[in-house]
Amino acid sequence: MALRFHSTLLISLLGLSGCAYVAETTAPHKHPAATRSAQALEADALFWRTFHSGDYANIDPALEAVEGVYLAHPDDAVTAAHAGWLHIWRLAERNRLASPRATITDDITLARKYFSEAAALDPADARFAGFLASAEMAEGEVHGQQADSRRGYYRMKDAVTAWPQFNLFTAGYVMSDKPASTPLFRAALNMQWQDADLCAGAQIDRATGSFAPYMQRETTQGPDRACWNSAIAPHNFEGFFLNMGDMLVKAGDWQMAQKIYANAKLSRSYAQWPYRDVLERRIRDAGANVAAFNAAAPGHSDDRRVLFDTSYACMACHQE
């Protein structure tokens, strides 16, 4: 009798499990919108005004507008991505806050969710895949889930393959806060060299570090557009070399860092870059910053932190 009961219970449980699997796998998939609503375009405009002006204090109103549109149109990949970027920005530049709360880490979970929606709706956009991967790696660290971090890492490798000019930077940047002695940091720094070489169309001279011979390659078309300034990232070029210089300083190669930093001055928009004074101080203090960048001590000013850990971690490239 007991054996028959247990067998019946097992069969019932297996049946329920099978029903759940069938129900889940046969659920209709969400399809990307063929057109974007007027409300979505209005939310886009607010997003870009807030982001490009560096208006960190008004992230909440921008999120309210963008997520409100997403709730009405959950099939809009761009709106989903904008929500993800706002959450990433709020977390990334938390050093702007006098006393960041523990709940600020909830932004990484929300960013991961919105980027997962954007990537599912538009799998051809390698930017979404790269940002999703970075959010997965960060969320895994927050929650102590190595499986999630590893999933993000391998997703990032695929994103790099899909668009190396864009995602080599993304991948290296998010790992720039690792200790300089670790394989992950060394791999991240190597990604910056690989990216610079791709953008140059040749290997940059490892003695001079100069990008000057390749400035004529500037373009707004094709994969190489990720190497240069654009409407989305008005100072992408300057920010790239600021970050790469910081990583070289952290690695102890501050003399080469000074040369890499100097490449930012080649930009036609360098005089309008809000963070040019930051770069000048980095060049001046490169030797002293080796210890500072590796100390990661609480209370350090932005001048004593690598770009990824500063209050302008996003704005160095994106602020007009």
Identify the CA nearest to 111 among candidates 150, 146, 142.
142
pLDDT value, residue 272: 98
Q: What is the reported pLDDT for 113?
A: 98
Domains of the chain: 36-162 (1.25.40.10), 178-320 (no CATH)
How high is the pLDDT of residue 33?
82
Distance between start and end Cα atoms, the chain: 77
pLDDT tens string 119-130: 999 999 999 999
Distance of alpha carbon 221 from alpha carbon 128, whole angstroms: 19
Phi and psi based region of residue 54 (left: phi greater than 0; alpha: psi -120 to 50; beta: remaining): left
Q: Mind giving me the DSSP string for 207-272?
A: TT---GGGGGG--SSSGGGGGS--SSSTTHHHHHHHHHHHHHHHTT-HHHHHHHHHGGGGSTTGGG
Whether the model clears a pTM of 0.75, i.e. scores above it, the answer is yes
At residue 222, the pLDDT reads 97
Please give the pLDDT value at position 16.
Answer: 65
Chain centroid to CA 110: how far?
Answer: 14
Token pair 């960041």 is found at 100
Closest CA to 189 of 246, 151, 239, 236: 246
Residues of the chain with pLDDT under 50: none
